[in-house]
Structure 1
């Protein structure tokens, strides 16, 4: 219910001298903006109350202030940051690798990421790494709109196929590779954790680059993320039953709720309210670059704490990550072929299944009270973070190059009509 009348009126902001002169609130507000007086503090309070009290003078003041902001340097700065964010997102693999290599040489560079801040009532530890992952998921929530959920309603079969492929192909392939390669318990836990996590946000960007179905990609990511609190703990508990460590599903469920679902919902609600605001749109354009920086910090934090373990078993770990990722791409594309999807959707399913949210897996491996007993598990998760970004970029580029090759080949096959001389 909106309050139409309040005791805190703009007239109270006038000084006694100005009231005697018959000054108005609008005149005083203008002078506050221009002369930067101390009473600008009260002006800001009145500005924030504009949405609640719906005072006509305050609303007109709010509009005037928005015009000042739009014409100032704030919008220009946001546009520059947005362009830089786009460039950083396009070269995310190089940036993440650079941070990982730098941290491997100087571990203290990213050691702050592993600083534990607090612990919840189930023993899940929260470090800067957990907060960074939460912010990355918040950035994903900012990209969701009402239209994305309409797509889910319009394509139930495709979304179901993608979700089943996501949580069937990657967990089973991870389990099979662990048995085939005879991975130690710690590394096996890490690989299975990557396989049981939802799809990565960067797969949406890769779908766009390879001319896939972006709306379908966002829908698959959304559904797999919303299912993660229920499916991921169940699958991990089921597959890790033969390993020395006993996993409890409840702490894992709560950890995913705290670091994934809550940030995504908050981001979606903010986007729902301010989607048409121009200033907000400029701020949102900066989020992909911020997410890349956050992912680099997560990888750097694991490298700082487990870099020595990666050096000791680097080739073996990379082989497991490479095979797991490749199987996801191939079987994901095959799922699209079997269900007779379009070429764009086949590519989308391939990227969505193969590219996992390894950043979430890394955070869970370090914050979960049971998983943290096996610190080497975070190593294979961190390697997956880097490699999935690289392989996704390469695969998207290969799809795009194939399209260009097909277009050039088709252009050569088009017969050229020759001019036939006419007889006069």
Structure 2
């Protein structure tokens, strides 16, 4: 009985996200002071994901590098180009255009791992893609920013890597260890973790909205439209190209989420340091919107089953069931 209740709660988490976001916007004073909860809550979610994964999940990713290569290439082509096109079409002022393009040149964010988990995508692939794009950011982000804006930016790649290790890698590895050594004991409570993750991400979104409520009021429809278009092009491009190239539904979902969800916190920090406060606004709005759009997408995909061959009936065909590139 409790499993059905948990599943129902998790499936409705986009609704909870919207409701609590509305409350946070109207009463930001109740949420803004709790920014310190974001990192611990993300770590808690990653721990839960690690518990539901296995070492075999990551070994399977290494056996299909084409998905990693495609996801990484799209991260640093689709999003920068989409940002540039959106700026041209909407004729954004220079400061706002710089912020949107800088956002498009950033690596994937850790929130994508959470959304992949809730969307029943490939969490191991998502984590690998986030890590790889972060590793490449110290070269890709400054270079692409220079090409599209004409100004270079300095990226604290070591700080980013330390953050990814603390927030993503360590909790996931700990979860993997718990699953490996205590698998039988925790099987009965594994259904709790998606619900915990849903509740945590809803609270994180509310805190972000509460913190940026003033910016939301000042942003105007143009910045919001630019952010929505940019995020939408990333999600649609990631999914469409992956499916067109013959990747599985699970891989396509994962790549779409990874490509469409940027490290908006990095873009805000770089914009303030190298451009203007106005240039940081697109990243701040994006940090809210991509969580909300990701929540809705995860809610939609979590209700759609992914058909795969029954391995128990085909013992000679072990491993991951996905189409390879080429």
TM-score (norm 1): 0.58
Q: Is residue 378 from structure 1 mapped to residue 288 from structure 2 by the alignment?
A: no
Counterpart for residue 106 of structure 2: 196
| Contact 1:190–1:379 (CA under 8 A) maintained in structure 2 | no
Which of 249, 268, 273 lines up with 2:177 in the alignment?
273
Counterpart for residue 174 of structure 1: 83
Q: In the aligned structure 2, how far is the partner of 1:83 from the partner of 1:266?
A: 31
Q: In the aligned structure 2, how far is the partner of 1:85 from the partner of 1:190?
A: 38
| Contact 1:190–1:381 (CA under 8 A) maintained in structure 2 | no
Deviations 1:138-188 (A, max 9, x none): 444444321112212322223322332333322332233234324453575
Provide structure 1 residue ranges, at least 5 long, that are not aligned to the other structure. 1-78, 115-126, 209-213, 404-424
| Contact 1:130–1:363 (CA under 8 A) maintained in structure 2 | no
Q: Is residue 165 from structure 1 mapped to residue 74 from structure 2 by the alignment?
A: yes
Q: In the aligned structure 2, how far is the partner of 1:288 from the partner of 1:368?
A: 34
Aligned length: 297
Provide structure 2 residue ranges, at least 5 long, that are not aligned to the other structure. 308-326
SS of 1:88's equivalent? helix
Deviations 1:329-386 (A, max 9, x none): 43224423543335x3574356335542x5x524773699738973523123212211
Which of 223, 242, 257 lines up with 2:128 in the alignment?
223
SS of 2:76's equivalent? helix
Question: Which protein, 1 or 2, shows the higher relative CO under an 8 Å CA cutoff with sep ≥ 6?
Answer: 2
Deviations 1:51-71 (A, max 9, x none): xxxxxxxxxxxxxxxxxxxxx
Q: Is residue 107 from structure 1 mapped to residue 10 from structure 2 by the alignment?
A: no
Q: Is residue 147 from structure 1 mapped to residue 43 from structure 2 by the alignment?
A: no
Change (3 A) 1:274 1:309: closer
Counterpart for residue 264 of structure 2: 361
Q: In the aligned structure 2, how far is the partner of 1:306 from the partner of 1:245?
A: 27
Which of 203, 211, 218 lines up with 1:305 in the alignment?
211
Q: What is the Cα-based RMSD across aligned positions, in Å?
A: 3.8
Change (3 A) 1:354 1:265: closer
Q: Is residue 205 from structure 1 mapped to residue 115 from structure 2 by the alignment?
A: no
TM-score (norm 2): 0.73
Change (3 A) 1:274 1:313: closer
| Contact 1:204–1:218 (CA under 8 A) maintained in structure 2 | yes
